[in-house]
Structure 1
Amino acid sequence: MSLLKVKSRNDYKDNLEIKNTLNNKLSYDNNLKENLNFEYNIKLRENIFDLNIDDYLDLGIRNNNKRRFLFISKTLGKHLPCRVSDMDDLGLKIVKAYEKKYNYLNSGVIISFAETATGLGHSVFNHINADFEFIHTTREIVKNKKTLDFLEEHSHATDHYLYYEDLNYFKDGEEIILVDDEITTGNTCINLIKKINNLYPKKRYTICSILNWMDEYSFKRFKSLEKDLNTEINFVYLFSGSFIFKCDEEKIKSKIKESENIDKYILKKNKLKVNYIYIDMDKYEQNKKYLKYTGRFGINKKDQLDLISKVKNECFKLNILDNEKVLFLGSEEFMYIPMLFADQFKKSDIYYHSTTRSPIIDIDIDNYPIKTKFTHNSLYNKGVVNYVYNIDKIKYDKCFLFCEINKDKEEFEEIIKIFSNTDIKELNIVLFK
């Protein structure tokens, strides 16, 4: 049962108000009232495909005093496991929403925001029927590459880098399409648009998202920016509206302390079979540790066709039996390529999501999405904490964990220990030659 449960699809009209008070929903249990004392109200203005929002998102509490809550997607393949078709369908829906409003310009670049929207933006790029290139922002610091750096101010990790120099249409294209899962104030997009336009002015910027919570003041800021930059700025989204969130800050801080207690889980130390699988795939000539086709330094439509071909040619290395329940797990920004591999096994019982830097509070109760949390050091950057959520809540037979960067086997010991404390019988660590 979701926090966003509503009666029927017909309930989604302009100015619909959905009231969600967790304490009221769980009033039969005083312990739950004490555990989670927060409420939020959502008012939808627009829902262009008449979708059931309950199928798309839930709400969690996070350890970030800049913003205490997080809308958690059920279909994005980030924090929660989903079916591959659900994630890729988000990209297709955003493309259809774009096409309902606008005609394509001659050329442009799709930019998605790390880390949550890297897979979503790549999916948009795959489905868009126009001459566009794709790149995603990154938290990776790469030497000897030109970058635009900017801030995502409310994020748990604020710094973004955009390594744009290998793109043709960043300079000469007519449009920039920005893709994120959620737009709240638009500040991050404003920061990036200003930086891009100072270098290479564009005819149009289009900001695409699943959710758009911008208020009238925020939209006016973009209208003012349009005039200042002599450009056009548009918005595409699946849902738009507003929300109010309230919580007891002291109780939330108490729950954060409980959530950070790594000793709260009973260690199972189950016997776990560990395999290492090596995939042949091109890497960037400038920097051999990164894969060519992720979009970190930019790809075009031909690169995308090459990627799909290489995945089809290499997927035979992943052994999956017909009756197995299998998790494909990406790592941080590395989301889309693991999703493509998962998509090759349409007849099997496949789930997909990714590790993340986003620190969400875990509470194992009904109506709350993040029930368990396992913490480990980043596979990419020492000293950066990563989380993987709910991997012990579905009884997977095996998992394929994808890591973009080749690493020594010893460096996976920590994450292997995590999987040994689940009921997963086999962990396959997928690396790239």
Structure 2
Amino acid sequence: MEKLVQTYAAGRLELEIARADLPAEALFDFAERQNPRRVFLFVSKVLGRHIPVTPSVMRDVQQRLADSITLPPDMQTLFVGMAETAVGLGAGVFRRCRETCPDSCYLASTRHTFAAPRLAEFDEAHSHAMRHILYRPRGVTLGEKPLHLVAVDDEMTTGDTFLHLCEALHGAGLPLRRVTRVVIVDWSPAAAKAALPWPGEVISLLQGTWHWTPTPGYPPTPFPARVEQGAGGEPVSRRQDWGRFGMLEPDLQPWPEVREQPGRRVLVLGTGEFVWPPFLLAERLEREGADVRFGATTRSPIKPGLAIRHRLEHGDNYGFGISNYLYNVDPEAYDSIYLCCETGAEALDRELLRHLHKAVVLEYDHA
């Protein structure tokens, strides 16, 4: 059994790895949250959020996870990707499974408020932004058949968020019959895996346990000053076809006019929860021969150091009045940068655009 230790000023994290389909060092690195609820953070090297990643590496992870899922033919399957980190991961798992599971749809949880029918709400207790909202998917009716929930997140440490999601869907009247939890890394204890009252399984690429020993008397790290969001106000694209209001067909064709020469170093960036169409653009450019990396801005506050070599704090583009962050991006490492957003380009923070001085801003279709 492999053992890893990471020491922070606030405490000591000890890991024991029982199983790994890919080496731990290929899957994650360590960082420190700016968050009093939980200090340590596993920074994924394959997710395309805090560390820019080759799209083909991301797709391989999506497919490895999807190919391990059992899909009962007599059930309707609902795939749910957890905001904001696993919105794209969940969509990729759904895309792979959609090939053999036509009676399915994908739904991304969100922290955004819309004037639309809600399906459920649930909490992520350790997060900087606790509340998740699920809107009723458009174009599909849930509940007419027994439901198989495939819930996707980047990691599972306690299992509480998955439990809260299942309880919320059950409380909304959905006939849950099976629950599959899908994560890149699973650190949850055996009791958490057995906590759900529905049959199912946990799918992961790495499984182990963690133990945190806090430093006596060390003061908790406060949240940044701008972590509580306001009401928003910036209009977003009416083309909500990538998960927030449900997705039935994952193979979108965003920005077909964008082309790159083979060998060009290209960075494609999503913004916040808006990552699946930008990922599809990055994936296409890589197939066409460009040397592509994919990443995204995030509202997750992480301290510089360890896996976070560079941090740019900037204002969000939704009008929430909160801090967003771009991690580990050196603009000079790329020949072209595409910054993709579902708001208008004018809503993007000037500091972000100054840092990404060569970026071309791509708005999602507002027609």
TM range (shorter): 0.7 to 0.9
The one-letter code matched in structure 1 to 2:246 is: G
Alpha-carbon deviation of 1:87?
1.1
User: Which residue number in structure 1 is paired with residue 359 of structure 2?
Assistant: 427
User: Which residue number in structure 1 is paired with residue 230 of structure 2?
Assistant: none
RMSD, aligned α-carbons: 2.6
User: Which residue number in structure 2 is paired with residue 149 of structure 1?
Assistant: 121
Instruction: Please show how residues 19-418 of structure 1 align to structure 2 within 5 Å.
Output: 19-21=4-6, 39-47=12-20, 50-99=21-70, 103-128=72-97, 129-131=100-102, 132-166=104-138, 168-173=140-145, 174-198=147-171, 199-222=173-196, 226=197, 231-246=198-213, 248=215, 289-300=237-248, 303-305=249-251, 307=252, 310-311=253-254, 314-315=255-256, 317-346=257-286, 347-363=289-305, 368-392=306-330, 395-407=333-345, 409=346, 411-418=348-355
Alpha-carbon deviation of 1:144?
3.5
The one-letter code matched in structure 2 to 1:88 is: R
Q: Decide whether the 8 Å contact of 2:6 with 2:30 is kept in 1.
A: no
Task: Write the distance in 1 (CA, Å) between the matches of 2:247 and 2:274.
Answer: 15
For the pair shown, which has the larger CA radius of gyration, 1 or 2?
1
Q: Secondary structure at the match of 1:190?
A: helix
Q: Secondary structure at the match of 2:116?
A: coil
Q: Secondary structure at the match of 2:280?
A: helix
Q: TM-score, normalised by structure 1?
A: 0.74
Alpha-carbon deviation of 1:413?
2.4
Task: Write the distance in 1 (CA, Å) between the matches of 2:263 and 2:78.
Answer: 41
Q: Decide whether the 8 Å contact of 2:29 with 2:42 is kept in 1.
A: yes
Task: Write the distance in 1 (CA, Å) between the matches of 2:201 and 2:139.
Answer: 23
CA change 1:167–1:205 in 2 (3 A) is farther
Task: Write the distance in 2 (CA, Å) between the matches of 1:179 and 1:342.
Answer: 22
Task: Write the distance in 1 (CA, Å) between the matches of 2:334 and 2:247.
Answer: 34
Alpha-carbon deviation of 1:378?
0.9
Task: Write the distance in 1 (CA, Å) between the matches of 2:236 and 2:39.
Answer: 39
Alpha-carbon deviation of 1:233?
3.4
CA change 1:382–1:195 in 2 (3 A) is closer
Task: Write the distance in 2 (CA, Å) between the matches of 1:336 and 1:17.
Answer: 34
Q: Decide whether the 8 Å contact of 2:137 with 2:247 is kept in 1.
A: no
Q: Decide whether the 8 Å contact of 1:133 with 1:167 is kept in 2.
A: no
**Offset from partner CA, 1:394-427 (integer Å, 9 cap, x none):** 61122100001234x364423212324xxxxx21
> What count of residue pairs does the alignment treat as equivalent?
349
Task: Write the distance in 2 (CA, Å) between the matches of 1:389 and 1:348.
Answer: 22
The one-letter code matched in structure 2 to 1:352 is: F
Q: Decide whether the 8 Å contact of 2:331 with 2:356 is kept in 1.
A: no
CA change 1:106–1:144 in 2 (3 A) is closer
Alpha-carbon deviation of 1:294?
1.3
Q: Please, which runs of 5 or more residues in structure 2 have no aligned partner?
A: 226-234
CA change 1:148–1:320 in 2 (3 A) is same
Q: Decide whether the 8 Å contact of 1:108 with 1:170 is kept in 2.
A: no
Task: Write the distance in 2 (CA, Å) between the matches of 1:410 and 1:108.
Answer: 37
Alpha-carbon deviation of 1:376?
0.8
The one-letter code matched in structure 1 to 2:250 is: Q
Alpha-carbon deviation of 1:374?
0.3
Alpha-carbon deviation of 1:138?
0.4
Q: Secondary structure at the match of 2:115?
A: coil
The one-letter code matched in structure 2 to 1:404 is: E
CA change 1:288–1:118 in 2 (3 A) is closer
Alpha-carbon deviation of 1:328?
0.4
Alpha-carbon deviation of 1:219?
2.9
The one-letter code matched in structure 1 to 2:297 is: T
Q: Secondary structure at the match of 1:126?
A: helix
Q: Percent identity?
A: 26
Q: Decide whether the 8 Å contact of 2:193 with 2:202 is kept in 1.
A: no
Higher RCO by CA contacts (8 Å cutoff, separation 6 or greater): 2
- Which has more helix, going by share of residues? 1
The one-letter code matched in structure 2 to 1:92 is: Q
Alpha-carbon deviation of 1:38?
5.3
